[in-house]
């Protein structure tokens, strides 16, 4: 509809107009400021020496435009156009049009909101990417949850989506870990039961960094172990593999709990044998130069530090691996877009990788996007694995589920449920709360870690949306035996004739869902979906509180249709966010 309006304005003014939803619905469904914009253009024109005077008064111009539209015959989807100070043109959609949209929701069901804008295009999304041998921390929740939402969004927009979990399973950090294992009492048995845990691995890593403070020379020892790993030393390799296996088991447990499934998990080690080609290629293209004993690609022209392909000891860097990774993805999928959902502390690194990939002709700059999410910080400072200052995700999820359970037990809505049902719902609700808390923030801003707010079950929260959905289901279940006849919503409207403001408000919100999807995908901002769904749920609950749905007389059928559509949109939106929608809660 937005594009229709844009065309309409273009036809009558020759301008590409900005069409927006007025913040206040009193100002209509759509609004444009084209008439206001011409004022600055006029001064631009005269600066160019064009004397031709345009009518300088935005109000007059706006009226002129509106008269043109009217005399050409108003499109049937518009019921009213208005010009207001200082020169806005506001449009109201007709009830027939809105009713049609409602029908669309009920007809398209789970497919409502699906777009085709990505048809034929492929996107690779790099997300989650936890580090092996460290517990899944709360810091990686952001990448996982936002990345998955972006994945779902692009998929919904018609893109071919490929998710890759770029596990941190290679690098000097393993040298450190293996050094520490070899120099402690920890044993990795050749076979049989493994008594190593991920917490122990984390402790070893912390121990190493404590030791470094007194004995800086062990850093060199650690680097040697990484060299040995790259050289294929059997024992070192075996220890590494044990750490990887152990970590993957733990990660999969977390992913199961979160309901996340990522298409691929190649990890950094996958590119071990693919880096040589990049290095040769960079040398051949005269991009790789030696500097201070290391092999680098310089980015002087961008005013950023060089990327290091090979350290002076001959070992590779993650810069090298990420370039090999781009090359691999390009060959395998030839994607139109690469999205990296990684923390903002790695901005510079991705600038270097993208610049390097462009120089090597692996892609064009506009194909690479780093969705840099802000960090989760303690009020007193940064989280740090090295210092052992982390929050483990599983403790957070456990607590969330515990709190949801408590509410279910207390609430009357939980009555008549089996213990097993209650457990399932508590899981959906608790995890929904944590995910939503993360997703509702703009990705780029930092989040101050707030133990209480993460579990919020009221107000602007995941459970509020889930609750509203369950409410719509509850109403609809009561009339299961009656067939909901919503084939002709505009006919229902005719019988009803007038809508109250709550009904109209819902109607004027629901149809916007596909626009929100597009905007959220374009801006890599799942939080826009959160905003929209919360607004919709608030409107529905207000409507629900004031008006009877069942037993609503002439209005019953229409209100049922509204209820079904609201539930459907909530469900579609939440599922894009990766949040479950239990029928009851």
Partner RNA sequence: GCGCCUGUAGUUUAAUGGAUAGAACAUCGGGUUGCGGACCCGAAACUUAGAGGUUCGAUUCCUCUCAGGCGCACCA
Neighbours of 219 (CB within 10 A): 16
User: Least distance in Å: CB of 109 to RNA?
Assistant: 20
Residue 257 DSSP SS3: helix
Distances (CA, A) of 199 to 134, 205, 275, 444: 7, 10, 32, 30
User: Least distance in Å: CB of 395 to RNA?
Assistant: 20
Q: Cα(first)–Cα(last) distance of the chain, in Å?
A: 36
User: Least distance in Å: CB of 518 to RNA?
Assistant: 12
User: Least distance in Å: CB of 549 to RNA?
Assistant: 3
CA 77, distance to chain mean position in Å, is: 33
What is the helix (H) or strand (E) element at residue 268, kind and residue range? none
DSSP class per residue in 354-366: HHHHHHTTS--GG
Q: Which is nearer to RNA, 19 or 339 (CB)?
A: 19
Q: Which is nearer to RNA, 4 or 345 (CB)?
A: 345
Q: Which is nearer to RNA, 348 or 495 (CB)?
A: 348
Q: Which is nearer to RNA, 106 or 519 (CB)?
A: 519
Residue 481 DSSP SS3: coil
User: Least distance in Å: CB of 528 to RNA?
Assistant: 6
Q: How far apart are CA 226 and CA 218, in angstroms?
A: 13
User: Least distance in Å: CB of 229 to RNA?
Assistant: 10
User: Least distance in Å: CB of 579 to RNA?
Assistant: 12
DSSP-derived secondary structure letter, 374: P
Residue 137 DSSP SS3: strand
Q: How far apart are CA 58 and CA 36, in angstroms?
A: 5
What is the helix (H) or strand (E) element at residue 19, kind and residue range? strand 19-20
User: Could you tell me the maximum CA-CA distance found in the chain, to the nearest angstrom?
Assistant: 89
Q: How far apart are CA 584 and CA 582, in angstroms?
A: 5
User: Least distance in Å: CB of 485 to RNA?
Assistant: 17
Q: Is the distance from CB of 22 to CB of 31 less than 8 angstroms?
A: yes
Q: Which is nearer to RNA, 122 or 484 (CB)?
A: 484
Q: Compute the chain's Rg from CA coordinates.
A: 29
Q: How far apart are CA 547 and CA 550, in angstroms?
A: 9
Q: How far apart are CA 2 and CA 514, in angstroms?
A: 11
Length, in residues, of the chain: 585
Q: Which is nearer to RNA, 22 or 158 (CB)?
A: 22
Residue 357's contacts (CB-CB under 8 Å, 6 or more residues apart) are 323, 326, 327, 363, 368
User: Least distance in Å: CB of 104 to RNA?
Assistant: 23
User: Least distance in Å: CB of 443 to RNA?
Assistant: 9
Q: What is the dihedral of CA 329, 335, 336, 342, to 10 degrees?
A: -50
Q: What is the dihedral of CA 291, 296, 301, 304, to 10 degrees?
A: -100
User: Least distance in Å: CB of 195 to RNA?
Assistant: 27
Q: Which is nearer to RNA, 156 or 226 (CB)?
A: 226
User: Least distance in Å: CB of 264 to RNA?
Assistant: 17
Q: Which is nearer to RNA, 33 or 94 (CB)?
A: 33
Pairing of strands 122-126, 88-93: unpaired
Residue 498's contacts (CB-CB under 8 Å, 6 or more residues apart) are none
Q: How far apart are CA 256 and CA 237, in angstroms?
A: 28
Q: Which is nearer to RNA, 183 or 538 (CB)?
A: 538
Q: Which is nearer to RNA, 112 or 467 (CB)?
A: 467
Q: Which is nearer to RNA, 12 or 527 (CB)?
A: 527
Q: Is the distance from CB of 427 to CB of 401 less than 8 angstroms?
A: yes
Q: Which is nearer to RNA, 188 or 408 (CB)?
A: 408
CA 117, distance to chain mean position in Å, is: 18
């Amino acid at each position: 509809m937005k594009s229709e309006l844009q065309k309409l304005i273009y036809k009558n003014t020759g301008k590409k107009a900005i069409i927006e939803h007025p913040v206040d619905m009193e100002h209509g469904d759509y609004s444009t400021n084209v008439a206001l914009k011409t004022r600055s253009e006029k001064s631009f024109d005269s600066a160019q020496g064009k004397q031709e005077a345009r009518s300088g008064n935005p109000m007059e111009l706006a009226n002129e435009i509106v008269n043109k539209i009217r005399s050409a015959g108003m499109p049937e989807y518009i019921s009213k156009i208005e010009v207001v100070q200082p020169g806005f043109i506001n449009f109201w959609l007709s009830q027939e049009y809105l009713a049609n949209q409602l029908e669309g929701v009920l007809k398209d069901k789970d497919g409502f909101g699906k777009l085709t804008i990505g048809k034929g295009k492929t996107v690779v999304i790099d997300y989650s990417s936890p580090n092996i041998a460290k517990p899944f921390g709360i810091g990686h929740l952001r990448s996982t949850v936002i990345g998955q939402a972006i994945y779902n969004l692009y998929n919904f927009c018609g893109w071919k989506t490929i998710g890759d979990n770029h596990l941190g399973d290679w690098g000097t950090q393993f040298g450190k870990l293996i050094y520490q294992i070899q120099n402690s009492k920890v044993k990795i048995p050749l076979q049989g039961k493994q008594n190593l845990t991920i917490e122990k691995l984390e402790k070893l890593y912390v121990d190493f960094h404590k030791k470094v403070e007194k004995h800086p020379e062990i850093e060199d020892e650690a680097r040697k172990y990484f060299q040995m790993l790259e050289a294929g030393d059997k024992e070192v390799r075996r220890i590494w593999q044990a750490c990887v296996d152990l970590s993957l088991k733990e990660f999969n447990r977390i992913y199961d709990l979160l309901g996340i499934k990522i298409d691929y998990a190649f990890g950094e080690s996958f590119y071990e044998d693919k880096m040589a080609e990049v290095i040769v290629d960079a040398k051949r293209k005269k991009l790789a130069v030696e500097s201070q004993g290391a092999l680098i690609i310089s980015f002087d022209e961008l005013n950023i530090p060089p990327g290091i392909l090979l350290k002076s000891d001959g070992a590779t860097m993650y810069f090298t691996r990420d370039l090999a990774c781009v090359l691999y993805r390009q060959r395998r999928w030839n994607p139109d877009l690469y999205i990296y959902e990684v923390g903002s502390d790695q901005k510079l690194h991705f600038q270097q990788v993208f610049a390097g990939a462009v120089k090597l002709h692996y892609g064009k700059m506009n194909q690479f996007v780093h969705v840099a999410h802000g960090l989760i910080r303690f009020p007193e400072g940064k989280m740090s694995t090295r210092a052992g200052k982390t929050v483990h995700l599983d403790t957070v999820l456990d607590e969330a589920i515990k709190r949801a359970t408590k509410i279910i037990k207390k609430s009357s809505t939980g009555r008549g449920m089996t213990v097993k049902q209650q457990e399932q719902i508590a899981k959906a609700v608790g995890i929904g709360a944590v995910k939503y808390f993360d997703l509702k923030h703009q990705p780029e801003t930092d989040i101050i870690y707030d133990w209480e707010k993460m579990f919020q079950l009221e107000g602007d929260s995941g459970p509020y949306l889930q609750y509203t959905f369950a409410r719509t289901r509850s109403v609809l279940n009561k009339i299961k035996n009656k067939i909901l006849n919503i084939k002709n919503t505009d006919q229902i409207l005719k019988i009803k004739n007038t809508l109250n403001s709550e009904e109209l408000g819902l109607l004027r919100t629901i149809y916007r869902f596909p626009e929100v999807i597009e905007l959220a995908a374009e801006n890599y901002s799942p939080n826009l979906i959160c905003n929209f769904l919360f607004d919709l749920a608030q409107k529905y609950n207000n409507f629900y509180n004031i008006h009877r749905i069942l037993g609503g007389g002439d209005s019953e059928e229409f209100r049922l249709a509204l209820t079904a559509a609201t539930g459907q949109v909530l469900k579609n939106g939440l599922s894009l966010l990766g949040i479950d929608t239990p029928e009851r809660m």
